[in-house]
Structure 1
């Protein structure tokens, strides 16, 4: 029976890999000018940390302020474990399907042309919005450091230009080396933030073990930790540029263990010293000197994270245009012109959305609910069910692995719940924001 199953798996993998240098998305790079498959698992882990830590960490203390210290920390740890499980499934799916470069390719395998285009749209939209979010974070940081020296839109424009430059390398390997100081900076900034909160705690602060609130308020708040682990949509692209993709599992374990630990400690300590009025991002609640120091040290990470998002969105289109073309691997005028043009368009789009859409932060929440809920959580269950079905004996393979099948189904349902509930509470939050007048106009300096 074991030999028969191995033969079925072998036939399936051979079929999936047919027609393209053992199925690898970048093929044989021995004689190419631009080599993509250069990264170690350690460098991939660094890139992953650079991408998600600042994006999620600074909003977590405000979530604890809504639900309380104990349930907040438990949720962060649980979601970290859950994200580790889904990371493992994504890594295994990539290893079974080497031609998968991004979620668009995976959507094509699961759902055909419709899935391919839907997942391509979701990947690009989410990456562009996250890049815009980093530009706003950079705007907040520069404004805090300079005591609002110039209009906020100008700060966002400065950050957009810097993000464009950092996005230009054609490979993640090149970006990996500038991500190392990025991770160091955000790690040090977090320590500075915690020390600053401890040195100047808020007098009369309210810190509670658990807090009751309405479903919409609680769930809207916990979307911060839910989407703090939203980097999964980049996993396939990063693994495609590894020397040994099998080591992707080591990068995933490193990412989730470090991120979860840092998230829990930073959120708990910051909330404990600042209390229920902690802002999001939390550095804004620090005393002026500590606030400037924390933001100043974190700036490189805010910049590199945005560049990674812009790079990811651009590469989805670049691969769509030049896959199996010499322009992908050679230094050609056409290849570089298209690449630079895509980077410019993506960054400008992110900037215009960030400063021109009054409900931009809520728009990120909607996009995260629509796509990140699936890319990070729900789709992993689909990957397992698909591979178990096709690599084994159809539906029988599911029944022979009842625990794993049940967990995969739970993962799909969890993704569905996060998606629907996230959209619902975000729309309610938008209605409330307009009602209380907290929505500012487009291109506002305030």
Structure 2
């Protein structure tokens, strides 16, 4: 007798029972499917998304195997994505908000990150056919095609703009290291070409190996920065002028007098941007051998993030005070210190761009080739389409990096417009879907329901006032001098 219970023909793949997902049942279903392979009724295999139209298990019989990542490799991939340059912008956030609001915002963002990520995992375990954030949006909003299209647009816009930001960052690093020996646009071209070459692997299993080097290099950059910030006599540069234009270095508990609401809101967006990587998680889970082990990888990431997202920024603020810039490398007073620490950032800059490019390309690739044999085999057409998609993604990202005068402001815009959904709103709705009918069944469930109401409020606040603040910052920057498109100007920090 089959170990798998027939899926109720009356229940569609995205239906939600109205109670917390029974993870054991979902795990048994996935495990049994892997074990039984083609012995399982074809409809069940298709619904779970683990098999192709011929009933073959994707990872057991295809040349290109997707479900190959262990939770350890997933943890490495998560760390490679999260241990990034944005950490070095948090000292600036503290310089705007002060110790008390800044640390509270960081800790709260971390707690909400954990809760929303666990909710996402529970929902995906109930719907194993989810392969990316677009599928997640489709199911969580009642199998709405409109939600799928909206999520797809958000995925493409968010990821391509972020890749563009990494192209620009790569050009900044090369400018800084070389002393601006070439036109900045040329450095951007170099970074783009390097990104395209590194994006060749079609599975995250291969990309995870790159992530180990990414995390290590970013860790070295952070460590060197902390050492140099501690041993130098004073910082060199701040947004209010060179030291000591703005007085002796100082730290403070609350925002300084004259700090605008727009600056405070953008500092908050800067923090939430760092803590909201969930747009990638469904794709990561879809390539795991045991999706049920994702919380283990998530716990590793949470531990790393809790340390790196708070401790280095706090030390940076302690030594740079009101002279903190984003990234903090720019405030170092000795040029050699700046080059030695910032130079290591080139590795995570490119590899994180590769991770976002891989997730983006997979979505486009699935729309182009679907479940044809080219999607999972080493064919000329399959690799040709993959290469063309990847080149297209990086070229569009390159154009954005060159024509947008202030990528920093647009990152705030991305955080407000996209992270509000992919970091908060989607998962508050998913919680309601998982638990509707029993939202207040007991003290623990009631508490979690109230927490998720708060998560929805946070998402709406970031989408509303947060988006307004981001737009106001862009308007203010555009009212001054802007960098021309495809510039040769020196953009070294």
TM-score interval, normalised by the smaller of the two chains: over 0.9
- Give, in whole Å, the separation in 1 of the partners of 2:362 and 2:378: 16
Alignment of 1:7-26 (within 5 A): 19=43, 21=45, 23-26=47-50
Match of 1:431 in 2: 475
Match of 1:392 in 2: none
Match of 1:293 in 2: 340
- Give, in whole Å, the separation in 2 of the partners of 1:38 and 1:13: 28
Deviation at 1:361, TM superposition (A): 3.1
Change in CA separation of 1:324 and 1:146 when aligned onto 2, cut-off 3 Å: same
Deviation at 1:110, TM superposition (A): 2.8
Give the stretch that moved more between structures: 180-189 or 400-409.
400-409
Deviation at 1:67, TM superposition (A): 0.9
CA deviation map 1:51-88 (0-9, x unaligned): 12214202111111111123212221221111011111
Deviation at 1:432, TM superposition (A): 1.3
Work out which of the two has the higher radius of gyration on C-alpha atoms and give 1 or 2. 2
Match of 2:376 in 1: 329
Asked if the contact 2:86/2:327 (under 8 Å) is kept, the reply is no
Asked if the contact 1:104/1:117 (under 8 Å) is kept, the reply is yes
Change in CA separation of 1:292 and 1:15 when aligned onto 2, cut-off 3 Å: closer
- Give, in whole Å, the separation in 1 of the partners of 2:435 and 2:368: 32
Alignment of 1:48-67 (within 5 A): 48-67=78-97
Deviation at 1:26, TM superposition (A): 4.4
Match of 2:216 in 1: 184
> Where do 5+ consecutive residues of structure 1 fail to align?
1-5, 390-395
Change in CA separation of 1:209 and 1:374 when aligned onto 2, cut-off 3 Å: same
Deviation at 1:322, TM superposition (A): 2.7
1:186 alignment partner, SS class: helix
Deviation at 1:438, TM superposition (A): 3.9
- 1:30 equivalent among 52, 56, 60: 60
- Give, in whole Å, the separation in 1 of the partners of 2:49 and 2:183: 44
Asked if the contact 1:101/1:236 (under 8 Å) is kept, the reply is yes
Asked if the contact 1:36/1:171 (under 8 Å) is kept, the reply is yes
2:439 alignment partner, SS class: helix
Match of 1:445 in 2: 488
The reply on whether 1:354 has 2:401 as its aligned counterpart is yes
Match of 1:338 in 2: 385
1:230 alignment partner, SS class: coil
CA deviation map 1:164-217 (0-9, x unaligned): 111110000011111111111111111111111111142621222222433222
Q: Which has the higher helix share?
A: 1
Asked if the contact 1:49/1:255 (under 8 Å) is kept, the reply is yes
Give the stretch that moved more between structures: 365-374 or 241-250.
365-374
- Give, in whole Å, the separation in 2 of the partners of 1:97 and 1:376: 19
Match of 2:130 in 1: 100
Match of 1:47 in 2: 77
Which 4+ stretches in 1 moved above 4 angstroms?
A: 6-18
Deviation at 1:298, TM superposition (A): 2.2
Give the stretch that moved more between structures: 120-129 or 17-26.
17-26
- Give, in whole Å, the separation in 2 of the partners of 1:162 and 1:230: 26
Alignment of 1:264-275 (within 5 A): 264-275=310-321
How many pairs were matched up? 434
Deviation at 1:359, TM superposition (A): 3.9
- Give, in whole Å, the separation in 2 of the partners of 1:385 and 1:325: 36
CA deviation map 1:237-263 (0-9, x unaligned): 001000100011111121122112111
The reply on whether 1:243 has 2:294 as its aligned counterpart is no
- Give, in whole Å, the separation in 1 of the partners of 2:185 and 2:44: 46
